[in-house]
Structure 1
């Protein structure tokens, strides 16, 4: 729990939150373009490897070194599983069949699951009636988005949507577990978890996809580069900083910001369109997440805590 006594500090953190929302909002379009010709496991293995290389290079330039103790590396590995290996791969697989905009909406429910996990497991952040309303609104939105497909018995697309929700729960766990790195420079858990993620995924890529046999398109390779550099390496540095300054639930506020961003980018570059039911679900999800993450106004408040 960190207090920010200067309004200027809070303004800077909120600007970083908006930047993180934009970087992650664009990631769904990057993924959609990438998996068009690169299989999901190989695409994500390359993403984590490139991001790890960039982050390690920046750390070296800053004169910082990753810790050598076994405990910290175990935590890096857990963070990698929760925040990259599992969700990255599930999202990439899901986007083989669902639109980038729909993926952005479903994945924006991270604050809902973060709140539920903190309520059940850690209880390190306060609950309120407004947050419970947020959970209810978000769940209604999810049901509106995937309910029609479930009733119609759509197979793989429904599985893809459920995969998105599992990825979202994994992100929620990562936001909470990220509190274990408060004593480290934000780039260290970002670099360490990306490196662990690459170590986990590369062998799977070699066995499953045999990447040397692939012929990726130029657009897929450019999407991979943009995803790794901007939506992963840079975004993860910002993410770990914000977990320390705004808290785990506060950090996931970027989820409701990235929904319109992700949908707009998908519409602009991929010519995607949402169904009427999905639009209603989007409104419910955004309202629910906003209710849970926008801090209430306080009279004569001189500090903001999370």
Structure 2
């Protein structure tokens, strides 16, 4: 009895953090949409990773936490950077030059599906139960409701941009699974390390391609970049790596279903993008899908490790 009562508050905290993560990443699509209005995608993402990585590194210094120094760990940081920031961030920023933030977040909400499929077919590091499979199906149905008829009609337009978001989604799924390699580190270490590696790769590319000193970004784009870097990247990545350790990769990516209605709502509120009434029905199904994928059964619930 004592063990069960001690686990429930911990699990409740993890689910709250899952919602917070979904909100931070749901807002990122609106930040990106505003940012790319006057800042090219490569430069926007280079600045995003540089600022976010620098902030996390500074916080780590203040907390007395040092980054690993061995070559093997930094090699994994570079792989994580490619899967979780360099490739997907840039693809989504490029895509949002021509598609709505709401469409991008909806397409990107398929991350749990790809994570589940990769886990089931390849890594098999987590149990792929029927309950989780049902959660995937329910979440997919909810995503279809969120998309609505208007967004469905847009799927054939700007095909390259939409495919870019889907490719970014697959990268996120791979990143969630690869992130298991950092379970023995403080969550801030892989967050900061991977973002620093991302900046190392993107900043030279930005200097070569975009020549950022020649740009004249607007104040809304600059503010969007700051919000994107600090809230949707620095804080979000720390929460993300914590949840990978406590909930697992499949359950953590289930926040993609929560991210869909949140991102669509933020886009509708701040960008004037149309929000279909069907999103409310979709939200209910999405929440049900997240519950099936994340809340363990009473008998098979694994004990969460305190983070």
Instruction: Give the TM-score band, short-chain normalised.
Output: 0.7 to 0.9
What are the residue-to-residue correspondences of 1:57-136 with 2, within 5 Å? 57-136=58-137
Correspondence for 1:41? 42
- Compared with structure 1, are the counterparts of its residues 299 and 65 closer, same or farther at alpha carbon in structure 2 (3 Å cutoff)? closer
Q: Does 1:262 align with 2:252?
A: no
Correspondence for 2:295? 295
- More moved, 106-115 vs 75-84: 106-115
CA contact (8 A) 1:106 1:164 kept: yes
Q: CA deviation at 1:292?
A: 5.3
Q: CA deviation at 1:183?
A: 1.0
- More moved, 163-172 vs 134-143: 134-143
CA contact (8 A) 1:111 1:293 kept: no
Q: CA deviation at 1:236?
A: 0.3
Cα distance in 2, alignment partners of residues 288 and 204 from structure 1: 42
CA contact (8 A) 2:88 2:172 kept: yes
Q: C-alpha deviations, 1:235-256, integer Å up to 9, x for none? A: 0011001100111111112212
- Compared with structure 1, are the counterparts of its residues 58 and 301 closer, same or farther at alpha carbon in structure 2 (3 Å cutoff)? closer
- More moved, 253-262 vs 48-57: 253-262
- More moved, 126-135 vs 165-174: 126-135
- More moved, 285-294 vs 115-124: 285-294
- Compared with structure 1, are the counterparts of its residues 301 and 292 closer, same or farther at alpha carbon in structure 2 (3 Å cutoff)? closer
Correspondence for 1:175? 176
What are the residue-to-residue correspondences of 1:1-306 with 2, within 5 Å? 5-136=6-137, 148-149=153-154, 154=157, 157-274=158-275, 286=286, 289-290=289-290, 293-298=293-298, 303=303
- Compared with structure 1, are the counterparts of its residues 251 and 268 closer, same or farther at alpha carbon in structure 2 (3 Å cutoff)? same
TM-score normalised per structure 1: 0.88
CA contact (8 A) 2:143 2:257 kept: no
- Structure 1: runs of 5+ lacking an equivalent: none
- More moved, 293-302 vs 122-131: 293-302
CA contact (8 A) 1:137 1:284 kept: no
Cα distance in 2, alignment partners of residues 285 and 114 from structure 1: 19
CA contact (8 A) 1:112 1:134 kept: no
Cα distance in 2, alignment partners of residues 232 and 135 from structure 1: 26
Q: CA deviation at 1:131?
A: 3.3
CA contact (8 A) 1:24 1:235 kept: yes
Provide the alpha-carbon RMSD of the alignment.
2.7
CA contact (8 A) 2:23 2:259 kept: yes
Q: CA deviation at 1:205?
A: 0.6
Cα distance in 1, alignment partners of residues 127 and 42 from structure 2: 38
Cα distance in 2, alignment partners of residues 74 and 289 from structure 1: 35
Cα distance in 1, alignment partners of residues 18 and 118 from structure 2: 22
TM-score normalised per structure 2: 0.88
- More moved, 296-305 vs 192-201: 296-305
CA contact (8 A) 1:108 1:256 kept: yes
Count matched residues.
298
- Compared with structure 1, are the counterparts of its residues 64 and 288 closer, same or farther at alpha carbon in structure 2 (3 Å cutoff)? same
Q: CA deviation at 1:279?
A: 5.2
Cα distance in 2, alignment partners of residues 303 and 142 from structure 1: 30
- Structure 2: runs of 5+ lacking an equivalent: none
Structure 1 counterpart SS, 2:50:
helix
